[in-house]
Amino acid sequence: MKTSPLFFALMGIDFLLLLLQIQGLSIGYSEALIVYGEVSPLQLLIHFSFAIFGEGDYALRIPMILLHLLSVTLLYAISRDYVTRESDRLWIVLIYMLLPGVISSALVVDNAGLIIASLFLFGYLYLRYALWALAILPLLLWIDPAFAYLFFALAAYGMYRKEYLWGIAGAVFLAISLYLFGIQVGGLPESRFLDLLGVYSAIFSPIVFVYLFYVLYRRMIAKEWDMIWFIATSAFAISLFLSFRQKVPVHTFAPFLLLALPLAAQTFLKTYRVRLREFRGRYRLLFYSAFVVLVINALAVLFNHWIYRFLEDPTRHFSYSMHVAKELAGALKADNIRCVDAADEKLQLRLRFYGISQCDDVRLEKTSTANGTKVTISYINRPVFVGYVTKIHKY
């Protein structure tokens, strides 16, 4: 059975669903910092999109969606080396698309999406062309300091397998990365270990994360240490080590674990198919449970505005930091206001993206004022933001 049409249909549905999400999102503060902050590879990509489509929400997020689709395509190609059936590759891709962290990286302007696509590109080049994959190491070094964990894995892999070209290349690029960017290790022993595991579980969903951990451990015991295993395990082990002394930026480590999805699928399918049909029940239960949880998580993201109906405090919504700003800017413009003093650095920068500059003539405050005009932003008939606009008269 040819699965190519199904794969492209899956890609098309994924693209449309992500595209539909853009209208309900506002630029976040961290995204605004990327757009208006220091020059970076991701900023150059976003500004290139602005040059083509004009500055706006779609131009802001389409590059991330395209990077996501590229990573899906590369994962589909990588999976060929780990599973035999074409249908199995489709399941790997579908599960990848449903992972909460992957949906987030496909929409949020953050280096995670760029890291995932670049890392999958390296994995694909390694599996297809072996040493030719070394050619993109300078590009990875430029893209993000997080690739130091990849370089460490290459050095460890080269030493273990006695493939010294890999070892030397990994060690050299690791040294360059540490020299240019360093690595933050500090703090007092306070153990963020459980926090780290909690964030990993949120990114992958609990069942998928536990199974990934099991697969990495099982392959370690069995000494099935290929390049992909080294990359995923090295990053995961380093994150665990750092968590004993400091808060770990999990979004920089999670992409390396994503690369282990084909390993997990290979282990699961071998374990499942080696058993007689009547003894496969618990494996089917494990798979269906994980899949149902992923679908529920995906629906929660796709219909996240409805969650406000069940929250007393709207600011506790997981996407609140990426809501309100666009609608607030629209309400201000409807009142012919083009600039405000938001008294909030983060909100001020976000409003800038929607054409509201900073000035002293109009104040936007969250507390009621005598001369203030009330502005309410609501989702699904549920107020999520209330502000008061006061025009300052100067004499």
The structure tokens 């040493």 sit at: 131
Share of residues in the chain with pLDDT > 90 (%): 72
Whole-model pTM? 0.93
CA distance 340 to 332: 9
Q: Pairing mode, if any, of strands 382-391 and 373-379?
A: antiparallel
* pLDDT digits 0-9 by tens, 171-229: 999 999 999 987 766 555 666 778 888 899 999 999 999 999 999 999 999 988 999 99
CA distance readout (Å), 153 to 169, 214, 390 = 11, 19, 57
Give the mean pLDDT of the chain: 91
Is 120 in contact with 81 (CB distance < 8 Å)? no
* pLDDT digits 0-9 by tens, 338-348: 999 988 899 99
CA distance 9 to 320: 32
The structure tokens 């609501």 sit at: 378
**Between 173 and 248, the higher pLDDT residue:** 173
Is 100 in contact with 203 (CB distance < 8 Å)? yes
Confidence check: pLDDT of 373 > 90: no
Is 42 in contact with 114 (CB distance < 8 Å)? yes
If 0-12 CB within 10 Å is exposed, 13-18 middle and 19+ buried, where does residue 368 land? exposed
Confidence check: pLDDT of 359 > 60: yes
Is 372 in contact with 362 (CB distance < 8 Å)? no
Q: Which residues pair with 379 in a beta bridge?
A: 382
Locate 321 and state its tokens: 């930091």
Element (H, E) at 95: helix 86-98
Confidence check: pLDDT of 369 > 80: no
* pLDDT digits 0-9 by tens, 283-304: 889 999 999 999 999 999 888 9
According to the model, what pLDDT value does residue 190 have? Answer: 65
Is 205 in contact with 293 (CB distance < 8 Å)? yes
* pLDDT digits 0-9 by tens, 376-387: 999 988 999 999
According to the model, what pLDDT value does residue 219 have? Answer: 93
pLDDT band (50, 70, 90) for residue 327: very high
CA distance 343 to 351: 12
For residue 385, give the DSSP letter. E
Locate 363 and state its tokens: 């104040």
